[in-house]
A and B are shown apart, each in its own frame.
Chain A
Amino acid sequence: MGDPDLNPAEYDFIAARRRVEAKPKSAAEKLTSLEEAVGRVKDGDHLSVGGCLFSRTPLALVREVLRQRRRALTLSRNLTCTEGELLMAAGAVSRVVTAWMSIGLPWGVSKILRHYVETGAVALEEWSHLALGLRFRAGAMGVPFLPALTMLGSDLVGVGGLKTIQDPYTGETLAAVPALFPDVALIHVHRADVFGNCQIDGYPHMDADIARAATTVLVTTEEIVPEEETRRYPDRTVIPGLAVDALVHVPFGSFPHECYGLYEADYDHFAEYTAAIDARGPGAVGDYLERYVYGPPAWTDYLDLFGSERLALQAKRAKELTR
């Protein structure tokens, strides 16, 4: 339930540093399966999900979390989309830390958000977009908080336990945005070599900060490239292999969400999904989970439900927008 006090584990920079010190920072190969990668997630963990809204969401990893029936998770993500609805409806999350949740303007206020939060089944802790971004950045920097000029004076201050400080130099009041050190980061990228050196095209969202802030980093990639490719363009690497625990090769790993330059989000699928909820209520998501999550054994079986023509069309649309 709602609790205006922060969980100290989220901002304990000393413990978070010890956890990173204690884990192997290996340059070894990281390639594995979705099942094995997600086996690292435990009930009660805090998961931070990369991408933003329906952009570069690590849906293959989220689907596997659901298939492994994890419980009592906390989800943090700046703008929360269908993945948050699936996690709520499956009973996997008890708390969501976010700035905004719904799919997008054409589909209205999320009825799933309304159902689970208004009934008290899930607590929704709200931070401003920048403040949550700075929580990940403070985590990435290994410091307990960052000063900022946002969220001050609003009622959001009372929701997540934000504190203010007095600037020791000018005496002004500043927001002391607390670090967020998640247990696990779920990230989807455009390309990686087998050692987990990851590159992202287009808008970077907060993935690089989230990966550094987390204790365990699970990555899916559209493409596996030769090590030589990484070494030729090292300036493009945003997450180093030493920070990555598991890497899985999953083409169309965000679908029906988008991946910049590779495929556009499938608005029609969102419309079908929300139409079912409009017609039959929140229970419609249970049917969706059966059909898209628990039913198809492999991600490729899941993609078959959309069909190769749809995937090709969304890929063509992405090229038109980014060429």
Chain B
Amino acid sequence: MTRFNAAELLAVIAARQLRDDTAVFAGVGVPLLAAALAKRRHAPRLTMVIEGGIIGPQIAPGRLPVSTNEMRAAHRATMLPGITDAFLFAQRGFVDVGFMGGAQIDQYGNVNTSVLGPDYWHPKVRLPGTGGANDIASLCREVIIVTPHEKRRFVERVDFVTSPAWLRGDGTRRAAGLLFGGVSRVVTTLGILGFEPDSKRMRIEATHPGVTADVIRQNTGFALLEAAQIETTEPPSDDELEMLRSLDPERRFLG
């Protein structure tokens, strides 16, 4: 009998990644919940930036936005600069962390949210597309991906690089002209993954309580490296869970 579900675990662990006195670009759903939780709990001077052109909103509990461009996302914001300019703040270097999900992710952290299948113009499955994910992945000082851990999502090579992380490793990101940022961590329902500093291949850095590195490997479609020491995360506390649940009483995103 677990005290929390997968979405709650993801949101709590993701929230802990955010530090006070920083700015975070948060997508709707679990990333936004995690940012709102961090701000209420340990990072009161965190500023949320939302791609609908919104800076500093205070999300109203029970009225969570389902898109990045609506009044719920802009509730009590401090600035509404417009979409283009919100991203230009990130390009200028004002956004510390980009928080995003992903349909398909590869061993270098590249994310595909565009098409499944080899031919972009004749896709097997057409997905919604990049939205601002490509920009967040290109422009924030650091990117944290938040995603359920499933073998079909963690593939050796994504069908299409919608959002670039380390491309093919070994300096290929820098060579493409992406001078800043990159994916630092992937927070999943099984643990926390990072990247080996030189090759930029994904590695296991932490497991959630009751999960072994082997379980993570079994749920990943490529060979994972391991950090010198694999940590075990602290399970969500009652306090964290209570605060998180109060943000989404309708359980629109917490399931």
Interface residues of A (CB under 8 A from B): 1-2, 52-55, 78-79, 98-102, 104-106, 109-110, 113-114, 117-118, 120, 123-124, 126-131, 133-134, 136-137, 148-156, 158-159, 164, 172-175, 202-206, 209, 258, 260-261, 264-265, 267, 318, 321-322
Contacts and interface: CB of A to CB of B under 8 A. Distances in A.
Interface string B142-183: 000000000000000000111110010000110011111000
Contact of B71 (A102, A105, A173, A258): A258
Given A150-B134, A205-B82, 17 more contacts: A53-B70, A54-B70, A55-B70, A99-B129, A109-B126, A117-B123, A118-B123, A118-B125, A130-B88, A153-B176, A153-B177, A154-B161, A156-B162, A205-B83, A321-B72, A321-B74, A321-B75
Contacts of B132: 99, 128-130
Interface of B: 28-29, 51-54, 60, 63, 66-72, 74-75, 80, 82-84, 87-88, 91, 114, 120-132, 134-135, 137-139, 160-164, 167, 172-173, 176-180, 252-253
Nearest to A148: B91
- Nearest 3 CB-CB pairs, A to B? A2-B121, A153-B176, A173-B177
Contacts of B179: 149, 172
B252 A106 contact: yes
Contacts of B137: 154
Contacts of B178: 149, 152-153
For B29, B132, B163, B179, the residue with the greatest tally of chain A CB atoms inside 10 Å of its CB is B132
A138 to B, nearest CB: 11
Contact of B53 (A100, A113, A204): A204
Contacts of B71: 202, 258, 260-261, 264, 318, 321-322
Which of B75, B127, B163 has the largest count of A CB atoms less than 10 A from its CB? B127
Contact of A150 (B68, B75, B131, B139): B139
Contacts of B75: 321-322
B85 to A, nearest CB: 9
A154 B69 contact: no
Contacts of B167: 153
A126 B128 CA distance: 10
A209 B124 CA distance: 35
A136 B83 CA distance: 12
Contacts of B88: 130
A135 to B, nearest CB: 10
B52 A114 contact: no
A156 B80 CA distance: 28
Nearest to A318: B71
A31 to B, nearest CB: 27
8 contacts: A79-B69, A105-B67, A124-B129, A129-B135, A134-B84, A154-B138, A154-B163, A203-B69
B252 to A, nearest CB: 7
A267 B67 CA distance: 11
A153 B181 CA distance: 13
A274 to B, nearest CB: 13
Given A2-B121, A55-B69, A124 B83 contact: no
Contacts of B53: 203-205
Contacts of B135: 128-131, 150-151
B179 to A, nearest CB: 7
Nearest to A126: B129
Given A55-B69, A104-B66, A1 B91 contact: no
B138 A150 contact: yes
B169 to A, nearest CB: 12
B87 A150 contact: yes
A299 to B, nearest CB: 22
A129 B130 contact: yes
A131 B162 CA distance: 13
A209 B84 contact: yes
A209 to B, nearest CB: 7
Given A106-B252, A153-B172, A205-B83, A79 B131 contact: yes
